[in-house]
Structure formats: C-alpha cells, structure tokens
A and B are shown apart, each in its own frame.
Chain A
C-alpha cells in the first residue's frame, strides 16, 4: 500500500493543500487575515444580491409584451452637434476602471509602507468614485426629467424604469459607501495609524496595512458589478 503523505496546512499547494487546509481545524483560510476572509464572504453575499436584481431584470424583460426601450438611444447625449449613444455610460465605465487601477496600486504601496503615495492614491480613487456618483446623479436627473418612473416611461415596457432605478441605485449606493471608507482609510494612512498599529475607534484592533487590501477588495467588487451591469443593462 502506497504511503499517503499528509499535507501541511498553509504550505502544500493544490488539491492536497485544499484538503489539509480545511482539515486543520480552527482556520481553514491559511495566510489570509481574518478581515480579508470576512470581506470575501461579505462580497459573496453581495454577489447573490446583485445577481437577484439582474435575474429579476432578465425575467421582466423576457416576459413583457411591449418592446424594451432603445437603451442605446435613451442614454445618448447630445455633444459636438450629434447624439452619441451611451457616451456618458462609457465615460463612467472608464472612470471606474481607472479608480480600480489606482486602488490596486494603493494596496501595493501600502504593503511597501509608503505612506505618502498610498494616501494620495486613495484620495485619487475617492475623487474618481465621487465623480462616478455625480455622473450617475446627472443621468438620473436627465431620465426623471424625461418622464422615466419606476412604473412607466415614454418609450416602451414600463418595467424599464423599475429595473434601472433599482440596479443603478443599489450600485451607486455601494460606490458612495466605498468613497466614504476610502476617505476614512486615507485619513488613517496619513495620520500614521497603520504604521503605529494604533487601535481602531470601533473594533479596537491594531491598525495594519492589510485593511487597505480589504478595502481594495470592496472597491474592485464595485467595479466588477459595474462590468456586469454595463453588459446586461446598457449593452444587451
């Protein structure tokens, strides 16, 4: 009989590592700080919430007898003497991707304990996020003034408004909270809380640069959700 070598939790790679990690009691997620594991689990639950919204949107769009409003024209803006389809949405997409890039670099410089660069990258990320929310507010104002309501709109299937306000509203709320937390963490970085392991005001746990990565996970998730909204709601 061949000898079966037990894996070492946190070290053995691959499937054997998976088994030894999960079989090691107490901590299944080796080398993952608890805050990061909890953020991942929160994001998993958020994935299901956004999926429910997008699946509901699919269901109402499939089952309506009236034609779906022409999304590409609804979100067109009159610029430079022509109607450019979806232009605002495209700009919002690029802004959110850019903010994801600056966030990823903030995490990197955070682990290098480069306080100043991390602080400014977090601030830039927050400004980009705030401008995204601003554009969304502009978009909502425009559609509401054109007569879009959760129960109807001038162009076709009444379900359009309900899906639009619910999905983009929930996403915009996520971005808004992300901006608030970006500013809080940026302030903590600037003040040196993470260098001096100063206890947080709420949890009392020591400040560590891991919280920048945990915040980064949330921010990238917001960008990730936008990728799906952009594809299913605006392009489909």
Chain B
C-alpha cells in the first residue's frame, strides 16, 4: 500500500465531504441549542451536551483537520497526550468537592441565607 492519500502534494479530497461535514456540524449545533431551549435537566441534559460536543469535535478533527488521512505516527503523537487531561479533571473534581464540603462545614451560615 502506497500512501496515495497523503502524498507530498498535500491533502486533496472531494469538496462534497467538506460540505457534508459542514451540514452535520450545523445540525449537531442546532441539536445542542435545542437541549437548552427544551430546558432538559439532569442526566439527560449533560449526556446529550457531551454527546453532541464529542461528535462535533470528532468531525472537525477527523475531516476538517485531515486527521483521518494522516499516518498513525502523528495521530498518536497529537491525540494521545490530551488523555492526561482526564487525570487533571479527576484530581480537580476531588479537590473542588473537598473545598465545597469544607466551606459548608466552616463558612455556611444558614441564618444569613434565610434572611
């Protein structure tokens, strides 16, 4: 298999694929906006928000940024490191929760809020 999709002349793909992805990004954005308009709450709200967000992000990176046509060497070099952010999110969620509980214990004055 020669690399006829990523040759030295650069990325060349039919215009239809860009127009299709463009259309899908519009539709997905409309969906996320609808989540807010319908005032969905709780688990349904954020699972839908995250679903549409990741679909949009995936389409942009894969097609507009041509990642799906690149070689695995650069795909992994760019897309694997952000996984470390998951660790940061987990740590800071723990930290945020701890701060919240501490504030509740020492700074929360129910009488002041009831006024």
A–B complex contacts, Cβ < 8 Å, 14 sampled: A11-B2, A12-B1, A32-B74, A43-B78, A44-B81, A55-B88, A58-B89, A59-B95, A62-B93, A90-B29, A97-B22, A213-B10, A220-B60, A231-B53
A135 CB to nearest chain B CB (Å): 15
Instruction: Report the count of interface residues on A (CB-CB < 8 A).
Output: 67
A69 at the interface (CB under 8 A from B): no
- A192 to B8, alpha carbons, bound, how many Å? 21
B76 at the interface (CB under 8 A from A): yes
Q: Are A17 and B72 in contact (CB under 8 A)?
A: yes
**Interface residues of A: mostly helix, strand, loop or mixed?**
helix
Contacts of A48 in B (CB 8 A): 82, 85
Binding site for A on B (CB under 8 A): 1-3, 6-13, 15, 18-19, 21-22, 25-26, 29, 32-33, 35-37, 39, 46, 49-50, 52-53, 56-57, 60-61, 63-66, 70-74, 76-78, 81-82, 85, 88-89, 92-93, 95-97, 99-100, 103-104, 107-108
A18-B72 contact given A58-B93, A235-B36, CB 8 Å threshold: yes
Contacts of A61 in B (CB 8 A): 96
Contacts of A216 in B (CB 8 A): 64-65
- A65 to B102, alpha carbons, bound, how many Å? 10
A107 at the interface (CB under 8 A from B): yes
Contacts of B92 in A (CB 8 A): 55-56, 58-59
**Interface residues of B: mostly helix, strand, loop or mixed?**
helix
A2 CB to nearest chain B CB (Å): 21
- A101 to B25, alpha carbons, bound, how many Å? 9
Q: Which of B11, B60, B85 contacts A227 (CB 8 A)?
A: B60
Closest residue to B23 on the A side, CB-wise?
A101
Binary per-residue interface labels of chain A (76-96) against chain B in the complex, 1 for a CB within 8 Å, 0 otherwise: 000000000110001001100
B23 CB to nearest chain A CB (Å): 9
A210 at the interface (CB under 8 A from B): yes
A104 CB to nearest chain B CB (Å): 5
Q: Which of B13, B32, B60, B88 contacts A231 (CB 8 A)?
A: B32
A30-B22 contact given A55-B88, A213-B11, CB 8 Å threshold: no
Q: Are A31 and B7 in contact (CB under 8 A)?
A: yes
A55-B85 contact given A15-B72, A227-B56, A231-B32, CB 8 Å threshold: yes
